[in-house]
Amino acid sequence: MRYIVLALMAALLFGASTPFGKVLLSQWSPQQLAGWLYLGAALGVCLPISLGRKGLFSGVISRANVWRLAGAILFGGILGPVFLLAGLKLASASSVSLWLNLEMVATAFIGILFFRDHLGKWGWVGAACIFAAGVLLSLGEGGAGTKAGVFLALACICWGVDNNLTALIDGLLPIQSTFWKGLVAGLFNLALGIYLHPMQGTLESALEGLAVGAVSYGASIALYISAAQGLGAARSQMLFASGPLFGLLLSHFLLRETFQVHHAVALFFQAAGVFLLFRDQHNHAHVHQAMEHTHSHRHDDGHHTHAHEGQPASLRHTHPHPHAPMEHRHLHWPDTHHRHSHGA
């Protein structure tokens, strides 16, 4: 339940970025605004928390995780938001919010094809319901331009890669991954955006961009990474797919865009999809190979048998720890400890 709440909170905060971003695009180019948003994520949220806890690193990060983080920065921090904001500049906030459901589909397919993720029949039905909600909303809103749709599709593919990579990163706390993504991607996009286009925005609008980034990108990304490491990329992304609906509602209240009957029908499909999704745990004998990694964990989950004297088994904490080889059978999702093909 904890990871479900985290994913929904991440969706709400990210959904708010669409109507607020639409307003800010009146003063900034898409690349410049992407820079402000991600710098806000790093400086406004992640840096103070990282420095106040364990610094910018929680331990030694492996070369594999460095490459995963670099890929997440490239696809999720540099390319994805620029494509999103380019589409948002061409279309309404409501239409862009609806297109973002494609991110769920991209994440699921990329996870299954390349990252040993798994969906059973209920998961596929749930995914279809969530996708149908997005299609219904899109049809109800009408066309917003082929070019804008291409930009949004590219953004969703980039975030699909990012979501799967960040779900595999260990050795960094979620807030630390978010800091590095925000700092590197923010500086790169802002510098390139200034080089390509003269700066016309005001200091006030720059601060607003940093504030939106701190909440809608910084806090949202950190919450999503925590959820993805617990639920797996595909399932956490399906919950995160409620973000477009939050964006639609906020666009209605903040930008006075229309809320219609087909929106209510789509909400029903979205709720049905989430319900079916969480029926999709599978149960089979599976083997855990010996490994050592770092992530948030408890000692009452059947996978962490090392002990801490005087510490309750239900207390969540983070530190490097080894796993001995083991084989067992239980209901599970493709989380940090279950990256195997079905039946393996």
Catalogue the E-assigned strands of 299-341.
Answer: 317-323, 326-332
Phi/psi at 246 (5° precision)? -60, -40
User: Are the CB atoms for 173 and 222 separated by under 8 Å?
Assistant: no
| Residues composing the chain | 344
**pLDDT-based confidence at residue 320 (cuts at 50, 70, 90):** low
Shortest CA distance to 208 belongs to which of 340, 336, 19, 3? 19
CA distance 146 to 132: 20
User: Are the CB atoms for 10 and 223 separated by under 8 Å?
Assistant: yes
Alpha-helical regions (H) of 213-300: 220-231, 233-240, 243-255, 261-277
Q: What is the pLDDT of residue 213?
A: 94
Each residue of 229-275: pLDDT tens digit? 677 666 776 777 788 788 888 888 888 887 777 777 877 887 787 77
Each residue of 185-215: pLDDT tens digit? 999 999 999 999 888 889 999 999 999 999 9
Q: What is the pLDDT of residue 20?
A: 94
**Beta-carbon count within 10 A of 310 CB:** 5
The amino acid present at 340, given as its one-letter code, is: H
Please tell me the chain's helix, strand, coil percentages from 3-state DSSP, rounded to the nearest 5.
Answer: 65, 10, 25
The helix or strand, by DSSP H or E, that contains position 285, with its residue range, turns out to be strand 282-288
Round the CA-based radius of gyration of the chain to a whole number and report it. 20
167 or 137: which leads in pLDDT: 167
User: Are the CB atoms for 174 and 49 separated by under 8 Å?
Assistant: no
